[in-house]
């Protein structure tokens, strides 16, 4: 019985690891819907370092990360850094305007369907998606880093340092390559 359990557990771990996202990889096109009916295309920002964040508007950790990225957008934007965010809850079209009024992000925030986000992230449909999800795309359209909300990358004492390090490395043309989804402190 123990051997059967061990074999099943190893198979499950292997299946999850084989389906996990890899970095670097070419970023596919991604569209964010705005409340005005327009779309923001990721490709419109080619030549910039883009932080593409997927959020839930009511998630406190997403809200804090939004505040932090708003400051970093102002600081690094003139150097070619752009943050884009998309809420993924079913009521996002209704919830995003309030989120924008309340948190005043310095970057565009819209919404996207959870299924298209999962496909973009290469996130297994059966796995729980911890929020926020953050992807860094370099100036050439390559995904260099991808982080899940439960990853140590988002730790309270290190999140801003990690964000700055990633942004500065990619702005300088560095080849940062990281995918983190390892369990850490549970978020949103």
Give the residue with greater pLDDT, 7 vs 100.
Answer: 100
Spatial CA neighbour of 178 closest among 151, 148, 147:
147
Q: Are 57 and 92 in contact (CB under 8 A)?
A: yes
The strand ranges marked E within the chain are 25-26, 31-33, 39-41, 49-55, 81-87, 109-111, 133-137, 142-148, 178-180
pLDDT of residue 133: 98
Domains of the chain: 22-180 (3.40.30.10)
- List, for residues 85-136, the tens digit of each pLDDT value: 999 999 999 999 999 999 999 999 999 999 999 999 999 989 999 999 999 9
Inform me whether the pLDDT recorded for 15 exceeds 80. no
SS3 115: helix
Segment 138-171, tens digit of pLDDT: 999 999 999 999 999 999 899 999 999 999 999 9
């Amino acid at each position: 019985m123990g051997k059967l359990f061990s074999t099943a557990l190893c198979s499950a771990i292997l299946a999850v690891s084989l389906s996990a996202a890899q970095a670097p990889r070419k970023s596919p096109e991604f569209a964010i819907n705005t409340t005005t009916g327009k779309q923001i295309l990721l490709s419109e920002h080619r030549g910039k370092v883009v932080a593409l964040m997927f959020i839930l508007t009511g998630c406190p950790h997403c809200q804090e990360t939004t505040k932090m990225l708003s400051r970093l957008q102002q600081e690094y934007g003139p150097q070619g850094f752009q943050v884009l965010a998309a809420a993924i809850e079913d009521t996002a079209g209704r919830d995003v305007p309030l989120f924008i009024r309340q948190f005043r992000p310095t970057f565009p925030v819209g919404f996207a369907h959870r299924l298209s986000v999962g496909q973009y992230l290469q996130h297994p449909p059966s796995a729980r998606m911890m929020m926020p999800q953050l992807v860094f795309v370099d100036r050439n359209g390559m995904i260099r880093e991808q982080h899940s909300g439960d990853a140590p990358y988002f730790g309270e004492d290190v999140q801003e340092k990690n964000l700055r390090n990633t942004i500065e490395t990619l702005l300088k043309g560095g080849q940062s390559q990281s995918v983190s989804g390892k369990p850490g402190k549970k978020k949103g």
